[in-house]
């Protein structure tokens, strides 16, 4: 993995990419206390995962349809890591999330993205800031944007857009995130309804 800046050996994450050696240290710290977790490291070019779990690699390739590269350790990645995600068995996810937040929330944003996944992203580099950046580039105001979400990794995005939608089956922690949110059963049904207006 490329080092982007000298300094704190534990690394940090600001903006879009993880700096220093945080992905390697963070991975080892997590694996030590959450040994049944699988990990993905998202980069611009590939989604990386560690060797050792062929079923997980096959799931990512053939069911999720990701361009997956398998490495032995995070330091073998030669591009910037944008997001790290740990998948844990669903029954273990709440305890893993609590552990991850306690250990890493001073260095990265830690949030759920499903009943088994915990995402680690850089401060200020979530979906909300990405949509705001796209809007500026395209001349589209956030008030004109709509977005659909269902979990904590969607929170900042739904607070940025003028037309936020939450799935009825959303994570209960997302309910009532703002006074503009509408609840929908499916994205497709809501799009059909809007197009029919």
- The fold for domain 12-121 equals 3.30.1240
DSSP 35: T
For residue 19, pLDDT over 50 is answered with no
Domain at 127-196, CATH class: alpha beta
Answer with the residue of higher pLDDT: 105 or 32.
105
Question: Please, where in the chain does CATH 3.30.1240.10 lie?
Answer: 12-121
How buried is 111 (Cβ within 10 angstroms: 0-12 exposed, 13-18 middle, 19+ buried)?
buried
- Whose tokens are 């979530």? That residue is 126
What is the C-alpha to C-alpha distance for residues 17 and 155, in angstroms, rounded to an integer? 20
pTM score, whole prediction = 0.76
Give the contacts of 66 (CB within 8 A, at least 6 positions apart).
40, 47, 60
Pick the most confident of 21-25, 80-84, 158-162, 172-176.
158-162
| pLDDT at residue 10, rounded to an integer | 39
CA angle 7/9/12 to nearest 5° reads 75
For residue 7, pLDDT over 60 is answered with no
Q: Give residue-wise pLDDT tens across range 80-127.
A: 888 888 898 889 888 889 988 998 888 888 999 888 999 988 888 889
Question: Please, where in the chain does CATH 3.40.50.1000 lie?
Answer: 127-196
């Amino acid at each position: 993995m490329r080092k982007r800046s000298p300094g704190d050996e534990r690394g940090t994450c600001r903006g879009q990419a993880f700096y220093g050696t945080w992905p390697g240290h963070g991975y080892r710290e997590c694996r030590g206390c959450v040994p049944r977790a699988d990990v993905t490291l998202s980069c611009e070019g590939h989604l990386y995962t560690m060797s050792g779990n062929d079923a997980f690699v096959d799931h990512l390739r053939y069911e999720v349809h990701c361009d997956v590269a398998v490495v032995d350790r995070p330091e073998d990645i030669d591009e910037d890591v944008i997001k790290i995600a740990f998948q844990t068995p669903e029954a273990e996810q709440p305890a893993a999330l609590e552990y991850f937040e306690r250990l890493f929330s001073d260095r990265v944003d830690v949030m759920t993205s499903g009943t088994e996944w915990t995402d680690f992203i850089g401060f200020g580099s979530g979906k909300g800031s990405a949509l705001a950046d796209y809007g500026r580039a395209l001349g589209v105001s956030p008030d004109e944007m709509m977005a659909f979400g269902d979990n904590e990794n969607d929170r900042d995005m739904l607070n940025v857009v003028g037309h936020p939608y939450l799935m009825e089956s959303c994570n209960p922690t997302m309910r009532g995130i703002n006074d503009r949110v509408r609840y929908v059963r499916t994205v497709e049904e809501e799009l059909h309804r809007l197009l029919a207006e």
